[in-house]
Amino acid sequence: MPAPDGSIASSTVNISGVHYRTIWPTATGSVRVIDQSRLPFEFATVDLETLEEAASAIRSMVVRGAPLIGATAAYGLALALRQDASDARLEEAARALQATRPTAHNLTWALARMRRALEPVPVSERAAAASREAARICDADAEQCRSIGRNGFELIRRCAESCGRPVSILTHCNAGWLACVDWGTALSPVYLAHDAGVEVHVWVDETRPRNQGAALTAFELAAHGVPHTVIADNLGGHLMQRGRVDMVIVGSDRTTAAGDVCNKVGTYLKALAARDNEVPFYAALPSSTIDWSLDRGADIPIEERPAAELTHVTGRTSSGAMQTVRVVPETSPALNLAFDVTPARLVTALITERGVCAASRAGLQSLYPDRPDSRPLASAAPSDSATP
Ligand code: MRU
Q: Do domains 8-141 and 164-385 have the same CATH topology?
A: no
| Ligand 1 geometric centre to CA of 123 (Å) | 35
Q: What is the pLDDT of residue 9?
A: 43
Residue 5 pLDDT grade (very low, low, confident, very high; cuts 50, 70, 90): very low
Q: What is the mean pLDDT of residues 269-291?
A: 98
Q: What is the mean pLDDT of residues 171-189?
A: 98
Which H or E run contains 263? strand 261-264
Pair 216, 176: CB distance under 8 Å: yes
Ligand 1 pocket: which of 174, 233, 350 to mutate (most atoms within 8 A of CB) = 174
pLDDT digits (tens, 9 = 90+) for 195-216: 999 999 999 999 999 999 999 9
Residue 382 pLDDT grade (very low, low, confident, very high; cuts 50, 70, 90): very low
Task: Enumerate the domain spans of the chain.
Answer: 8-141, 164-385
pLDDT of 249 above 90: yes
- E strands present in 190-227: 200-205
Please provide the CATH number assigned to the domain covering 164-385.
3.40.50.10470
- How high is the mean pLDDT of the chain? 93
Q: What is the pLDDT of residue 337?
A: 98
Ligand 1: residues within 6 Å at CB?
Answer: 64-67, 173, 175, 179-180, 185, 212, 251-253, 263-264, 338
pLDDT of 321 above 70: yes
14 phi, psi to nearest 5 deg = -120, -70
- Dist. CA 36–CA 124, nearest whole Å: 35
Pair 90, 119: CB distance under 8 Å: yes
Does domain 8-141 sit in CATH 1.20.1250.20?
A: no
What's the number of CA atoms in the CB half-sphere (13 Å) around residue 274?
Answer: 27
Q: What is the mean pLDDT of residues 166-179?
A: 98
Pair 260, 296: CB distance under 8 Å: yes
Pair 41, 83: CB distance under 8 Å: no
The reply to whether 253 belongs to the active site is: yes
Per annotation, catalytic residue among 205, 253, 291, 295: 253
Ligand 1 pocket: which of 264, 289, 300, 337 to mutate (most atoms within 8 A of CB) = 264
Q: What is the mean pLDDT of residues 14-18?
A: 78
Q: What is the pLDDT of residue 209?
A: 97
Residue 95 pLDDT grade (very low, low, confident, very high; cuts 50, 70, 90): very high
Residue 1 pLDDT grade (very low, low, confident, very high; cuts 50, 70, 90): very low
What does pTM read for this prediction?
Answer: 0.93
- Dist. CA 184–CA 149, nearest whole Å: 8
Which residue lies with its CA nearest to atom 14 of ligand 1? Answer: 175
